[in-house]
Chain A
Amino acid sequence: MTILTFMLLVFAGSVLAGCLGALTGLGGGVVIIPLLVLLFGVDLRYAIGASLVAVIATSSGAAAAYVREGYTNVRLAMLLEVATTIGALVGVYIAGQVDSLVIMYVFIAVLFWSAYSSLREPKPLPPSDAVDSLAIRLKLPSTYPTKAGPMHYGVRHIPGGLGIMFIAGVLSALVGIGSGVVKVFAMDRLMRLPFKVSTTTSNFMIGVTAAASAAVYFHRGQLDPVMCGPVAAGAIVGSLLGTRVLVKAKTRALRIVFACVVGLMGVQLLIRALTGKV
């Protein structure tokens, strides 16, 4: 493939990934890695580096809009980032020790989880009304905008949330993704935050988590300019489109498309991994 074709196609694919990533809150990584590996025959190590860059781009571009709208819980994000960044240091260390094939299997598992979780209708749990004294001492309960005006919410199970966030950080650095699916799971299901607060706070944290391992990947030579440049620029454009233009789009249909695409990619990668072509 010539350099111009490669850069243009990677750019176009990254716009799409950034758009979907911003829209679903699951990060662009689950789309970028299979795209590069399956369509462009890129080595997994380059793909992971490029994906981390895409993830930072998507997170930063989308967070700019969500923070302004007041959905993101900035204090909660900072607290949980202690766990995700320490997890990321552990993950990037593990990544240097294990075989590519192991990383590929972990990635495939995350793909299937992402597909499943985007298919599942986010059925809101009733917001927690129980008073959590730790949350209050940490100044975490807050309000978020609704059509009827600001709405109060509490925060529960902070130690458990920190534990899952540590795992999310390890995964993020190990396979080069945002781990949005894990972060949303922890905040929505365990910490009992409103869904919109969970997805936007997750998105906000993804950039810092990925930045904690990106420097190490740069040093290891996994950030190639010809690949990461178009990926970064494409994901930035895509995330801004995703938050501004598509904010009113039918997300239900998009989630089904996303699940099908990601699931299909997972199957293809699994076949490749099983036949030893990684």
Chain B
Amino acid sequence: MAEAPGTTPDPAQAPDPGRPGDAPRSRSLELALSQVLIAGVAASAAIIGLGAIGLLASTSMNMHVDYSRFIPPESGSQSLRAVLHGVSMLDARAIMIAGVLLLIATPIARVLFSLVSFARQRDMLYIGITTIVLAVLAYSLFYGKV
């Protein structure tokens, strides 16, 4: 764990722009991932905002909410199909949940995007690692029956 004395670099040393073993940092990948994330959160916030306005416009302002007790959902109501059906009926709650699901999908889209990028770089090692992460995420979606 401890390094031999004398090998500890001085923090004030001149910048060290890299070593032969360093992985190439892909600026284009970094910028693309940044754009995927921004697009995902912006679209999600906009859809949730629309749904919230619709909800407040269609319910009585005096309606009280109570979340002090967890109420298990009706079976079948918590599926992607039910949400999409609700959205097609312009149901405000379904639109809000669609926005939330889009937000959950954003990091998954980021992983998918990385896979494309590693494939372009023909980086077999990271194509494999990214595929494992995607498989685990896919299993969770299947297990969650979205």
Contact = CB atoms under 8 A, between A and B. Distances in A.
Interface of A: 1-4, 6-7, 36, 40-43, 45-46, 53, 56-57, 59-61, 63-65, 67-68, 70, 72, 74-75, 78-79, 81-82, 85-86, 88-89, 92, 124, 126-131, 136, 138-143, 146, 148-152, 207-208, 210-230, 232-233, 236-237, 239-240
Given A45-B70, A60-B107, A74-B29, A2 B133 contact: no
B46 to A, nearest CB: 9
B72 A221 contact: yes
Contact of A143 (B17, B51, B103, B108): B17
Contacts of A43: 67-70
Nearest to A219: B144
A146 B19 CA distance: 16
Given A150-B17, A208-B133, 11 more contacts: A2-B64, A41-B67, A56-B103, A60-B107, A89-B139, A149-B17, A152-B16, A211-B107, A218-B144, A226-B65, A228-B97
A45 B9 CA distance: 49
Interface in B65-79: 65, 67-73, 77-79
B68 to A, nearest CB: 5
Contacts of B67: 36, 40-43, 46, 224, 227
Contact of A151 (B15, B55, B79, B104): B15
Chain A, interface SS category: helix
A89 B106 contact: no
Contacts of B136: 82, 85-86, 89, 212
Contacts of A46: 67, 70
Nearest to B97: A225
A216 B126 contact: no
A230 B45 CA distance: 9
A212 B107 CA distance: 10
B64 A228 contact: no
Contacts of B52: 7, 229-230, 233
Contacts of B93: 225-226
B33 interface: yes
Interface in B35-91: 35, 37-38, 40-42, 44-45, 48-49, 51-52, 55-56, 59, 61-65, 67-73, 77-79
* Residue of B44, B93, B94, B110 with most chain A CB atoms under a 10 A cut-off: B110
Contacts of B126: 75, 78, 139
B120 to A, nearest CB: 14
A215 B3 contact: no
Contact of B68 (A42, A74, A215, A227): A42
A55 B27 CA distance: 26
Contacts of A89: 136, 139-140, 143
B108 to A, nearest CB: 6
B129 interface: yes
